[in-house]
Amino acid sequence: MIKKKTDDKKQWFLYPANLRTKTLVIIALSALIIVSIFVSGYFIRDIPTSFISANQMPSFAHPFGTDWMGRDMFQRTVAGLGLSIMVGFIASVVSTFISIILGLFSSFNKFADESVAGIIDLFGSIPHILLIILISIMFGGGLIGVVMGVGLTHWTPLARVLRSEVKEIRTKEYIHLAENLGKSKLWIATKHILPLIVSQIIVGVILMFPHAIMHEAAITFLGFGLPPHEPAIGVILSESMHYLSSGYWWLAFYPGLSLLIVVLLFDFIGENVEKLLNPETAQE
């Protein structure tokens, strides 16, 4: 019995977990890190200032150093990332809703399909950052302006994918049978087409997160996003530009690196979720 258990352990080490198990582990760990950052950032409110501790280099007491007001940069970075994740989530929901509406509307008839294609091309032809800034200003700036600016401009890639999938589904035999039975366009879109594009919607939403977060940080950095009193990554990076020439490199390095890590985590989740939902790789 002892020898058999030992052999089982050896076989477990010789034959590691399959792709599905590895994928689930990567998704779980990445999601855990992101949720931890978001929850931690939510509870970080007032960061104490201490001009005696201003512009200190990274140390055990302050892993990311301190800024020009003596505030702990680690706390500011976590709070900024939590705010960015929240903005990215809301903006992704708005963009996904628009993409689903346009994708299903394109299934009604040829005119609807061409109209959706024209709307996608129109929004895609305008410079992305410029469009976000204009919409943000139109909604009064601040948090609402950033959310609407990002949310109303990030739907085009997902809408293009959904339109392509809908065009393929429209050629199926059961769609023609439903039409011959007198079912309405809306009924066919919600009952037959929508369930078949759920996987594309899930992957599209996840992959939309990093783009939304990066663009939120970009327009905030340029001064058209969140106000200066918010602990946003864009605000932190914008402030750090005044101190880089004085050698305070940590004010920009650690917040920028943390933002990059969060974006990569979302990319990892999106890529691995796509593996799970892809029939060719889901069973490996």
DSSP 1: -
Regarding predicted confidence, which is higher, 225 or 18? Answer: 225
DSSP 266: H
Evaluate if residue 8 carries a pLDDT over 70.
no
Structural domains of the chain, with CATH: 18-44+74-277 (1.10.3720.10)
Q: Report which of 128, 119, 156 is spatially closest to residue 214, judged by C-alpha positions.
A: 128
Q: How confident is the model at residue 54 (pLDDT cuts 50, 70, 90)?
A: confident
Average pLDDT over the chain, rounded to whole?
Answer: 83
Q: What percent of the chain has pLDDT over 90?
A: 7
- Distance, CA of 276 to CA of 282 (rounded, Å): 5
pLDDT mean over 35-41: 89
Each residue's pLDDT tens digit, 173-226 = 888 888 888 888 888 888 888 888 888 888 888 888 888 888 888 888 888 878
Q: What is the dihedral of CA 34, 239, 234, 49, to 10 degrees?
A: 40
DSSP 72: B
- Distance, CA of 64 to CA of 73 (rounded, Å): 5
Q: How confident is the model at residue 32 (pLDDT cuts 50, 70, 90)?
A: very high
Q: How confident is the model at residue 78 (pLDDT cuts 50, 70, 90)?
A: very high
pTM passes above 0.75 = yes
Each residue's pLDDT tens digit, 93-149 = 899 999 999 988 988 888 888 898 999 888 888 888 888 888 888 888 788 888 888
**Tokens 């340029």 label which residue?**
222
